[in-house]
Amino acid sequence: MILFYIKIRIKKLTADKLELEQKIKEKTADIANINKVLETKNSDITSSIDYAKRIQIVLLPNKEELMEVFDAFIYYKPRDIVSGDCYWFYKTENYSYIAAIDCTGHGVPGAFMSLIGMTFLTQIMIENEGPLPATIVSELDKKIVKSLRQSKGVQRMRDGMDMALCRIDKKKQ
């Protein structure tokens, strides 16, 4: 009787073991499929961000043009693929403007803020002739608040940027 019980128990344990091995194979296959999907998604996202980096770099000022005006160098090393840190340059007949900008957020959100900031700075320069830095900063603030639909209420977003902005008078140096 004991021998019969042991044989039945061994048979049951063997069947359970085979069932568990089959479940492990199925789960491993599921995980492998999920991993493939994640790898594909990651690759797609990284490709998109790499493309965004190329766009961001193209929108940064031309280093050669900057070097013609300033005896300087540019150290630009984003923490992520794209960045909220940027520099901006604009020149008119009488003035050269240069800015170092640190936007809120890192990575993609920061990069969007830097693109908004650089675009608005250039727009302000086109709309005004030789504006003072204070005017530029004031106009930039208005444009960012309006474009991001920021309000003074409780829900106010904290998006923005820190910026050092200089205007150099070409005649007076």
Hey, where are the domains in the chain? 1-59, 60-169
Per-residue pLDDT tens digits for 40-58: 999 999 999 999 999 998 9
Q: What is the overall mean pLDDT for the chain? A: 89
State how far the Cα of 79 lies from the Cα of 110, in Å rounded to an integer: 11
Return d(Cα 117, Cα 165) in angstroms, integer. Answer: 12
On the question of pLDDT at 151 being above 70, the answer is: no
Helix 107-127 to helix 2-59 angle (10° resolution) is: 20
- Tens digits of per-residue pLDDT, 111-122? 989 999 999 999
Superfamily per CATH, domain 60-169: PPM-type phosphatase domain (3.60.40.10)
Nearest Cα residue to 81 out of 119, 108, 41: 108
